[in-house]
């Protein structure tokens, strides 16, 4: 009988952890305090001179990264002042470390001066991104 309780406990705990991870997927979080001078060269070189740049951090074998790339590319194509850059950090993990990236895909929004606006872990929701970006794109 003890084995049944242990199995039930593991299933409940696994379900709770899965629900928590699903709830956090695609959530927009406030930017970490950062200084443009601490950005890796690979990132600062990719920033657009106007508007907002969405920097997607990906890895080679990341399936959700392909979905994220499609969402962000379409969003950038139809939104003035928005640029999308996809950085594969498979060969350069120091970029992910410098930006405190713990999972892929992660999307970071930067202003032209290198200030981080927000970050999204997982596959972002396009409409939510547009809502958060509106104040930053209005000046373009």
* Domain chopping of the chain, boundaries: 27-137
Q: Nearest Cα to 137, choosing from 112, 114, 105, 120? A: 112
Taken in order 25, 27, 33, 36, the sign of the CA dihedral is: positive
Per-residue pLDDT of the chain (140 residues; tens, 9 = 90+): 888 888 888 988 888 887 777 666 777 777 766 656 678 888 888 888 889 999 999 999 999 999 999 999 999 999 999 999 999 999 888 998 998 898 999 999 999 988 899 999 999 988 888 899 888 886 54
Model pTM score: 0.80
Give the C-alpha separation, 11 to 38, whole Å: 43
Is the peptide bond between 37 and the residue preceding it cis, with omega within 30 degrees of 0?
A: no
* 27-137 is classed CATH 3.40.30.10: yes
Tokens linked to 105: 């895909």
Q: Name the E strands within the chain.
A: 28-30, 52-58, 82-88, 106-110, 116-121
Residues 6+ apart with CB under 8 A from 86: 56, 58, 65, 69, 72
């Amino acid at each position: 009988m003890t084995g049944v309780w242990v199995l039930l406990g593991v299933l409940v705990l696994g379900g709770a952890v899965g629900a928590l991870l699903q709830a956090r997927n695609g959530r927009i979080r406030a930017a970490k305090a950062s200084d443009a001078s601490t950005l890796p060269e690979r990132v600062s070189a990719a920033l657009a001179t106007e508007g907002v740049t969405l920097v997607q951090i990906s890895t080679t074998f990341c399936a959700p990264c392909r979905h994220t790339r499609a969402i962000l590319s379409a969003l950038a194509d139809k939104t003035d002042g928005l640029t999308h850059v996809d950085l594969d950090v498979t060969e350069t993990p120091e970029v992910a470390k410098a930006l405190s990236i713990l999972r892929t895909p992660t999307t970071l929004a930067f202003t032209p001066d290198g200030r981080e606006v927000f970050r999204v872990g997982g596959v972002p929701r396009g409409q939510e991104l547009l809502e958060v970006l509106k104040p930053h794109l209005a000046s373009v």
